[in-house]
Amino acid sequence: MKKSVFKNITQIGVLALVFVITLPGFIMAGDSQTVVKKHGWKTPITTENWPVDPAKLHLAGAPHSLIGLTLEQIVTDPNIQIRPDAASCMDCHDWAEEMTAESFCPRIDDFITTDQDGEGPKPQVLKDILIDWKNRNCPD
Ligand code: HEC
């Protein structure tokens, strides 16, 4: 009698142990299915995290599409040209190459409203992307 009670307790113990060991695996599997990381300073813009017509992410006349680029690349890389005039940010702004997420974030409000001294407004798609980034506190 005593022996079988002990055996039951052992079985329950083993089952509980198996459950506890496998639980984190289930939780992690659930996570990786649901989370698409939003774009950021070092996280690229993708068709998953910025779901608009992909054609809108490649401005007419621009050498590069925004898809697959990080904000850091768009702002600081002199070889990246996402604007219709095929200019990089650095071509007009000396400060662009030295930008960090922290130093570029406070410039977004002016980016949204500038008419570029009469040259016309900045690309709308880039405004939308930067507003969203700022609303999330400019993450990496
Ligand atoms: C053809 C030249 C030109 C290019 C290329 C250009 N800009 Fe500008 N930008 C201007 C002008 C002109 C202004 C308004 C005057 C000013 O403040 O410098 C301006 C204003 C800004 C401002 C607000 C003012 C400030 O200094 O914070 C930001 C931010 C900005 N641009 C970011 C960018 C980024 C990012 C890119 C690249 C995607 C870019 N610009 C590409 C000409 C340009």
Q: What is the pLDDT of residue 11?
A: 73
The single residue listed with the structure tokens 């700022």 is 134
Phi, psi of 87 (to 5 degrees): -100, 145
The structural domains of the chain, with segments of one domain joined by +, span: 1-35, 54-135
70-112 pLDDT, tens per residue? 999 999 999 999 999 999 999 999 999 999 999 999 999 999 9
pLDDT at 36: 87
Give the DSSP H/E element, type plus range, for residue 44.
Answer: none
Is the predicted pLDDT of residue 9 greater than 70, yes or no? no
Distance CA 97, CA 31 (A): 36
User: What is the spatial distance between Cα 18 and Cα 133, in angstroms, rounded to a whole number?
Assistant: 42
Global pTM? 0.81
Ligand 1 atom with the shortest distance to the CA of 110: 23
- Ligand 1 pocket at CB < 6 A: 74-75, 83, 85, 87, 89, 91-93, 107, 110-111, 114, 116-117, 119
Q: Whose CA is nearest to atom 12 of ligand 1?
A: 116
Cα–Cα distances (Å) from 106 to 52, 87, 110, in that order, read 26, 23, 8
